[in-house]
Amino acid sequence: MAGLCEGRVCIVTGAGRGIGREHSLMLAAEGAKVIVNDLGGSRDGTGTDRGPAQEVVDEIIAAGGEAVVNTDDISDWAGAERIIQQAIDTYGRLDVLINNAGILRDRMLTNMSEAEWDAVIKVHLKGTAGPAHFAAAHWRDRSKAGETVDARIINTTSPSGIYGNIGQTNYGAAKGGIASFTIIAADELARYGVTVNAIAPAALTRLTADLGIGDAPEEVKEAMSVKWIAPIVVWLASEESRGVTGRIFDVRGDLLAVSEGWHQGPKVTNVLDPSAVGPLVEELMNGARPNADMLGNDRV
């Protein structure tokens, strides 16, 4: 029986550990050919190590799958172009790009350095835009050449980006940008046969290790396992998902939800006199839904 992604060529960035590793293994198990990208850096993005990506590739090959290593820096425009070209050179095509790579440099806004801001924005936001740019150009060219394209971009946002989390103005801004990027890119690329979606995962990984989950009871660890994240991503990577685009999926444990974006709330007639604005804002606030907490529920 053919797998859900049989023969599809997939790139997974940040695939050496955690969520990306799980994506890669499940994609390969479902018949995909996988380019396993990982710079091999530490949690804060420093350093390099080919080992993690190579271990994932070795595991896929040992199980009878197909995979190759890529260690390019996806936050570098040239590196992003190389990873797309490697997929084409190795397997003759590209069908799916999964932007998963990320780092953390958490800090309260009052204490955050320029370097901490720039590094997180670069890896997450530019590291999503670069690979997506070169992948989209590849699919546009194939579409204009008369080929039927059925391609996917799957981005990784975060509850911090769509709901907000203290101490993560850099990370949340980058992840919120990725959510907006997803919606706009979906509209732009539909004409070429490309869908663009994103997930907002919550799981126990080395990026969340300092949240105390590592000391939690086993049932909590099980509920926060990375194994829960990959199924929606593999399905989105498949041909079955061609009717779904521009959506953000909130996934943690056995919860899977669609995260609904900004909508215009209560309305009043605007005025030109600033002294008359206060009562209007009070009316708006009394009718407005509170912002969400990190679980996507109304804050209390």
Active-site residue list: 171
Question: Do 83 and 12 touch, CB atoms closer than 8 A?
Answer: no
Q: Where are the alpha helices (DSSP H) in 190-258?
A: 218-223, 230-237
Q: Which two tokens stand for residue 181?
A: 């990027």
d(CA 65, CA 63): 6
Q: What is the DSSP string of 91-127?
A: HS---EEE--------B-GGG--HHHHHHHHIIIIIH
Question: Do 182 and 246 touch, CB atoms closer than 8 A?
Answer: yes
The CB density around residue 38, as the number of other CB atoms within 10 Å, is 31
Sign for the pseudo-dihedral over CA of 274, 276, 278, 283: negative
